[in-house]
Amino acid sequence: MKKDIEIPVVKDVYVAIIREWNEEFLDKDWNAYVINDKDTAIEMTMVVSKGFDDDRKTSIMRHNLGIVEPKSFKKIEVVQEDVLTLNNEFFVTFFANGTLHDKRFVFEKNTVTESNLTVVPLIDKEGIYAK
């Protein structure tokens, strides 16, 4: 029964929040991306995101990203500065090699800051990976 259920481990798929220049507003924005570092595409990619802490929570956002090609990335959403004071959760679900995968990525509150930036491969911009 339970022992017969195989839960695949998600490897080579990440969520990162990147600090990017916004030409329209002439300011820097925080943008969340899903990164596919696999050698195969991930399909039917869905991301559910929310911010929360002990006494506050944001509305739940749902994003259909479709296919994310191998060794590529897709933008999920813009993350507002005031939401970064909350825990930010991104629940990523996708098909790879005919199998359903899902993983929860969390950016803990107040960890997405300029002082924590590192270069994110594939995107080649400064950002922060989720744990």
Q: Quick: pLDDT tens for 46-66.
A: 999 999 999 999 999 999 999
Q: How is residue 63 written in tokens?
A: 């994003």
Give the 3-state secondary structure of 98-119. Answer: CEEEEEEEEECCCCCCHHHCEE
- How confident is the model at residue 131, as a pLDDT? 67
Residue 7: pLDDT above 80? no
User: Quick check: pTM over 0.75?
Assistant: yes
Average pLDDT over residues 31-54: 96
Q: How is residue 38 written in tokens?
A: 């696999």
Average pLDDT over residues 56-77: 97
Confidence of residue 4 (pLDDT cuts 50, 70, 90): low
Q: Torsion angle of alpha carbons 61, 67, 69, 72, nearest 10°?
A: -10
Q: Which residues contact 108 (CB under 8 A, 6 or more apart)?
A: 87, 131
